[in-house]
Chain A
Amino acid sequence: MPDLTSNTGGIVSPNPFWLASAPPANSGGQVQRAFDAGWGGAVWKTLGTPIQNVSSRFGATRWKGASGVGFNNIELITDRPLETNFREIYETKKKYPKHAIIVSLMVETREEWKEIIARSEDAGADGLELNFGCPHGMCERGMGSAVGQEPKVNERITGWAKEFAKVPVLVKLTPNVGDIVPHGLAAQRGGADGVSLINTIKSIIGVDIDRFVPEPRVAGLSTNGGYCGAAVRPIALHMTAALSRDPGFHLPISGIGGITNWRDALEFILLGSSSVQVCTEVMLRGYRIVEDMIEGLETYMSERGFERLDQLVGKAVPAYSEWGDLDLNYETVAKIDASACIGCQLCMVACHDGAHQCIHPNPDGSRVPTIDEDECVGCNLCQIVCPVPQCISMVQVPNGYTPATWNEHVEAGAQLRPKKGAH
C-alpha cells in the first residue's frame, strides 16, 4: 500500500484530504464524523468575533439538469461562541491525536491575533490558517479579502501571527486578485509556513427573474457572494501552479477549489499541493466522498509504482511553461474512429462554426464525418464535443520540421512550419 501521509509546512496528516474551513468543519461532532469517514485533517470554520448570519445564504449554478456545478455563499465566519469552539477543538484533538486540526482565524488588531492564537494553541491546534480570503461581508469590515488583496497588510499580519504562533501558520489566499504570485510572496516574506488557496471568488450566482433580485435573496435584497465548487477548479489549479513554478516562491501549498473526487485532488497535488481541502462537494454529498478519494489515489499510486505522496507533489509543474516556449512545429490532427462514431455530427457543426471548417459530410453518404487533415489545425474542439469516449483522437503528424518555439524564432530565427488554416 502506498503511504499517503502528507506534510504541509510541518502539519502532518495521515492522508492529504482535509475539510476546508467552512460549514462541514463547523463543530466538533462534524469534524469527528469526518475523521471517522477517513478525512486526514480539518481546517476549522474560521474563528473570530462571532457574527450573525443572514437567511438564506447559498445559491447554486444549475446546468443541464445538474445542480451545484458552481456554488455561492454569503455566510460569514463562525457564529458560535469561541469557548464552545475551543472546547470542541480540544476534545476532538484528544480523541484523534493523529489527525490534523488546523484552526482558521480572522480578527483585526495585533492584540486580538495574539490572544486568539494563544487560545487556539491551548486547544491543541496542529496549525493555524489565516483567513485573508473571504470576499463578502468580512471584507466590508476590513478583514478577509481586504487583507488578502493588499500584500503589505498580508505580510504585516502574517508577521504578527508568526511572532505569536508556535505551530505552523498557513495563509489562505484570495483568488480575487489579478496575479496570485505577489500575494503568495507577501505571505512568504511575512514568514508563513505555507499557503492555502483558493478561497471563494467574488460572484453573483443568479438573478430571480420574477422578483428582479439577485440570488440568494435576503428579503428584498441580495449581495455578492463567494463562488466555489467544481466550476472554479481550473482557476484554482492555475493559481496553485502559478505559485508552484515561481522561482521565488518556496512554501508548501494546500490546494483548494472544486475538488470532488480523487482525480481532482491528484491534479492539485501534481501541480504542487501537499494537501488538498474540500468544502462544496462535502456540503453537497457528505463526508463519505473521502472513501473514493483515498482509494482512487492509492490505486493510482500502486498501479504506477509510487510509494509516497511527496513523489507526486509538483510532478506536473515543470511541464507548465510560457506560451513562448511551446513547440510551434508540433503538429496534431483529429482522427475519427469510424467504428466508434455514432453520427451525431456535433464535431462537424463545432468545427464548421467554431473552428476551421475542415470536418465535412462523408461523400459515401454515411453519417461518419471526414476530416480534411490538410486544413485541420489540431485545436481539439471536435474531440471536446464528441460524446463517444476515445472516438476522436488527436494524432501527431510528422512534418519534417525540428521543434521551434516562438521565443527561439524571435531570438534566433528558428524555422517555423507554414501556418495551417490561416487563409
Chain B
Amino acid sequence: MADIPADRSEASFEDFKPAYTKAQAVVEANRCLYCYDAPCVKACPTSIDIPEFIRKIATDNVRGSARTILESNILGMSCARVCPVEVLCVGDCVYNELGVPPIQIGKLQRFSTDEAYAAGWRFHEAGSDTGKSVGLVGGGPASLACAHRLRRFGHRVTIYEKRDQIGGLNLTGVAPYKIKADRAAEEIDYVMAIGGIDVVTGVSVPGDLSWDELRKRHDALFVGFGLGPDSILSAAGGDLPGIVGAVDWIEQMKLGRLDLSAVRSAMVVGGGNTALDVVRELRGLGVPEVALVYRGDEAVMSGYAHEWAAAKEEGVRGLFRTLPVAFSGDGKVERARLVRMDEHKRPIDGSEHEVPCDLAIVAVGQSKLGELCAGLAGVKVEKGRILVGPDQATGEPGVYAGGDCANGGTEVVNAVAEGRDAAVSIDAWLGRT
C-alpha cells in the first residue's frame, strides 16, 4: 500500500453520502425496475450493467453484483463514491420521468464493491503471456484501467510515473468527503493484485526517459499523464505567500497536514468543480469565512449545480461577476482587491473594493500537457489536448492515449473507460503487428 500518513488533514472528513447498510441496499435495490436497454447504463461512461448488478443485490447474489460492476469498471469501488452520479447514471434513471426519487446507483455500487473488498473477492486473472509489452506513461486511473485490461489479455505492462506513487488525482485530488487517500490506495492494490504490472516511479517522460527509448522498450505505448500544474492568476501580488494553486493545496490536505488555525477569510477563485471542492473542503476544515469568487454568473459556472447547492448549504458565499485584481499584505496575503464585471465581462468603473483575505486558492484550471508529446511525430495536439480517435489511437501507430490528457479533463470514470477501451484497441493492434 502507498504511504498515507494517518494524521493528514483530510482524515477528519465524514462521507457526504454515507454507506448503505444491507437493509437499506436491499430496499433500494428492490425499487429498481430492471429496465431493458436502460438509460442509466447509457449514461455511465464505462457502461456498467446497472440493472443487472442491482438485481443481484436484491437476490442476495452480492458477489455476482460486484462481478458485474468490476467487469466493466475495475475502479468501480472509487467511481461509486466519486462519480457525479447526479449528471450521469442517476440523472438518467427513468424514475426521474415519473417524478419519483431516482435509484441511488452510486450508493448501491458502493455497497457491492465494498463487500467485494471486505470479502476479498477477485474476478480477474492475467492472461497467458503474449510476449508483447506495453509502456504506460502516468499512473492515474486511465493507466490503471488500461494496465489491468492489458494484463487480462496477457500483455506485459510497465507504468512510468513521475511521482513517488501511482494513483493520480484519484489519490491526490478527489474531495475527502467522497473518498480518502487510504481507500483510493486500497483500490490501487486491488488493481495491482492481478499481478505483473510493473511500476517505475520517479520518472518523468520525456524529461527522464525519452519517447524513443520507450518505443524501443515496448511494442505499444499508452499515454495517460493527465493534466499539468495549476494555472496561475495574473493579479498584482499574486505571488505572495498564502496564494496557492488548488490542486497543490488539495494534495497537501489529502496527504499532509495543513495548519489553517490562523485563517479567518479564505477566497477561492474559479467556478469549476475543483473550485467547488475547495470551498467545501475549507468549510469542512473549519475556516469561518469562505468565498467563491467567479468572474461569470452563477448560472454559467461550469461546476455542478448539485455541488454548488451543497456548498451554499455549508455556508459558502458566492461572489459572482467578480475578479481579484490585486493582493496585498505584510509578508503574506492579507487583503484582496476585487472588481465587479458587467455582462460583457468588462470591469465596472468604480466597483473596486478591498476585502480581508488570508488564504487565496486559485482554481482556474490546470495546464495541458499534450506538448510533451512533441517527440512523437504522429501525435497531434490541439490546445494542449492529445487528439485521439474513438479507439483511443493517436496519429502515431502503436501510441494510444486516454484520460484527462486526451479528453481535456473530465471524471475518473471517463479515464477508466478510455484506458480500458485503449487496452482493447492495443490488444487488437498488437495482434496485427
Interface residue ranges, A against B (CB under 8 Å)? 261-263, 285-286, 288-289, 291-292, 295-296, 299, 388-389
Contact = CB atoms under 8 A, between A and B. Distances in A.
B55 interface: yes
Contact of B60 (A263, A285, A286): A263
B67 A295 contact: yes
Nearest to B36: A286
B36 A292 contact: no
B59 interface: yes
Nearest to B33: A285
B23 interface: yes
B59 A263 contact: yes
Interface of B: 22-23, 26, 34, 36, 52, 55-56, 59-61, 63-64, 67
Contact of A262 (B22, B26, B34, B61): B61
Nearest to B121: A299
A388 B23 CA distance: 7
A420 to B, nearest CB: 31
A286 to B, nearest CB: 6
Given A263-B60, A286-B36, A389-B22, 9 more contacts: A289-B55, A292-B55, A292-B56, A292-B61, A296-B59, A296-B61, A296-B64, A299-B63, A389-B23
Interface centre among A292, A296, A299, A389 (most CB of B within 10 A): A292
A291 B61 CA distance: 11
A263 B55 CA distance: 13
A353 B259 CA distance: 63
Contacts of B56: 292, 295-296
Contact of B61 (A285, A286, A295): A295
A299 B121 CA distance: 11
A343 to B, nearest CB: 15
6 contacts: A263-B60, A291-B64, A292-B64, A295-B56, A295-B67, A296-B56
Nearest to A297: B61
A261 B59 contact: yes
For the complex of A and B, 10 pairs with smallest distance between CB atoms: A296-B61, A295-B64, A261-B59, A299-B63, A292-B56, A292-B61, A389-B23, A292-B59, A285-B34, A292-B64
Contacts of A263: 59-60
Nearest to B65: A292
Contacts of B26: 389
Contacts of B34: 285
Nearest to B58: A261
A263 B64 CA distance: 13
Nearest to A342: B23
Nearest to A299: B63
Contacts of A388: 23
A388 B60 CA distance: 16
Contacts of A261: 59, 61
Interface centre among B34, B36, B64 (most CB of A within 10 A): B64
Contacts of B59: 261-263, 292, 296
A44 B59 CA distance: 27
Contacts of B52: 288, 291-292
Interface centre among B55, B56, B59 (most CB of A within 10 A): B59
A296 B34 CA distance: 17
Contacts of A288: 52
A299 B61 CA distance: 8
Contacts of B55: 289, 292
B414 to A, nearest CB: 27
Contacts of A296: 56, 59-61, 64
A285 B56 CA distance: 14
A299 B23 contact: no
A262 B58 CA distance: 11
B40 to A, nearest CB: 15
A282 B23 CA distance: 27
A138 B60 CA distance: 39
B108 to A, nearest CB: 15
A388 B27 CA distance: 11
Contacts of A291: 52, 64
Nearest to A294: B64
A296 B58 CA distance: 12
Interface centre among B26, B36, B63 (most CB of A within 10 A): B63
A320 to B, nearest CB: 24
Given A262-B59, A288-B52, A292-B55, A299 B22 contact: no
Interface centre among A261, A263, A286 (most CB of B within 10 A): A261
B211 to A, nearest CB: 44
A289 B54 CA distance: 12
A151 B387 CA distance: 76
Nearest to A340: B23
A1 to B, nearest CB: 13
A370 B298 CA distance: 56
Contacts of B61: 261-262, 292, 295-296, 299
Contacts of B64: 291-292, 295-296, 299
A261 B52 CA distance: 12
Contacts of A295: 56, 61, 63-64, 67
Nearest to A285: B34
Nearest to B61: A296
Contacts of B67: 295
A289 B34 CA distance: 10
A295 B26 CA distance: 18
B3 to A, nearest CB: 36
A262 to B, nearest CB: 6
A261 B64 CA distance: 13
Contacts of B63: 295, 299
Nearest to B31: A65
A263 B26 CA distance: 15
A359 B61 CA distance: 35
A66 to B, nearest CB: 9
B23 to A, nearest CB: 5
Nearest to B56: A292
Contacts of A289: 55
A221 to B, nearest CB: 33
B372 to A, nearest CB: 44
B65 to A, nearest CB: 9
A388 B26 CA distance: 11
A296 B61 CA distance: 5
B189 to A, nearest CB: 24
A264 to B, nearest CB: 9
